[in-house]
Amino acid sequence: MNLNATNPPIFMVHGWAGSHFETWQKPGIEQLLIDQGRNVVGIDLLGHGTSAKPHDPLEYHDLAKPIRDQFLKFPTPVDAVGFSLGAIALLQSASEQPDCFRRLMLVGVGNGLLEPHDEAETARIVGGIDGSAPTNDVVARQFGAYARSGANDPLALRAVLLRPRAPQFSVAELQAITADVNLVVGDKDFVRPVEKLAQAFENCKTTNVKNCDHFATPENFGFIDALLDFFA
């Protein structure tokens, strides 16, 4: 019997300026999954948490490598949840190996993943880190505050944003992914809309988290309920 087929590990991947500890362990979300009998694999992306924090943007050309490295330790398919940058890294892994996930929860991403990278938007966020963003640009300044919080390295996180970008995901790539996908987004998240992204997957449902913006999603009770239900 292949036990991995019925109860595979859950890969948990944080967002930009987060870490496995800050995003999933500290709020108790990891423990809730463990209490459900699940084995959790925490992944810190390069530039975050316990991983190395280089300041050269070129070092971040392959966001998905820490995820692929875990495939060497566990039989696939696995389950996974990723928030924002973590969702992008998971999608990159899934586009390279379409059969590697059983269930895939993507949080805080939208139709922008099907569009060319917006360099002006990246420059706006970098301005929040550098302190050059206008005082009325709340989003840019929020990103800057996150970059400077806790044990974060702002220069490493700046480099993450300035990394070489792969082409946007194609509908054909996403249609090839065999996982059951749950696309979760707050109703006040700036990544909206999400309909085109959801329709690109073969098997996808969308979960709308009420009264929730982008940054608050991982600790929102509506999201946590959806997470526990999806991976039950």
Whether residue 133 is contained in a domain is answered as: no
Structural domains in the chain (count)? 1
Spatial distance between the Cα atoms of 232 and 230, rounded to a whole number of angstroms = 6
Give me the tens of pLDDT residue by residue for the chain, a chain 232 residues long: 344 567 899 999 999 999 999 999 999 999 999 999 999 999 999 999 999 999 999 999 999 999 999 999 999 999 999 999 999 999 999 999 999 999 999 999 999 999 999 999 999 999 999 999 999 999 999 999 999 999 999 999 999 999 999 999 999 999 999 999 999 999 999 999 999 999 999 999 999 999 999 999 999 999 999 999 999 9
Confidence (pLDDT) at 6: 76
Whether residue 128 is contained in a domain is answered as: no
Whether residue 26 is contained in a domain is answered as: yes
Residue type present at position 65: K
Confidence (pLDDT) at 1: 31
Domain encompassing residue 96:
3-121+168-230
Whether residue 142 is contained in a domain is answered as: no
Whether residue 71 is contained in a domain is answered as: yes
How big, in percent rounded to 5, are the helix, strand and coil portions of the chain? 40, 15, 45
Indicate the angle between helix axes 119-130 and 138-147, nearest 10 degrees. Answer: 60
Residues 6+ apart with CB under 8 A from 9: 38, 39, 40, 41, 74, 78, 79
CA-based torsion, 75, 65, 96, 183: positive or negative: positive
Whether residue 43 is contained in a domain is answered as: yes
Spatial distance between the Cα atoms of 24 and 28, rounded to a whole number of angstroms = 7
Whether residue 9 is contained in a domain is answered as: yes
Q: Which CATH number characterizes residue 97's domain?
A: 3.40.50.1820
Supply the pTM of this predicted model.
0.95
Over the stretch 48-65, which tens digit does the pLDDT of each residue have? 999 999 999 999 999 999
Whether residue 183 is contained in a domain is answered as: yes
Rounded to the nearest 10°, the torsion over CA 186, 62, 42, 103 is: 60
Over the stretch 13-49, which tens digit does the pLDDT of each residue have? 999 999 999 999 999 999 999 999 999 999 999 999 9
**Beta-strand pair 180-186/101-107:** parallel
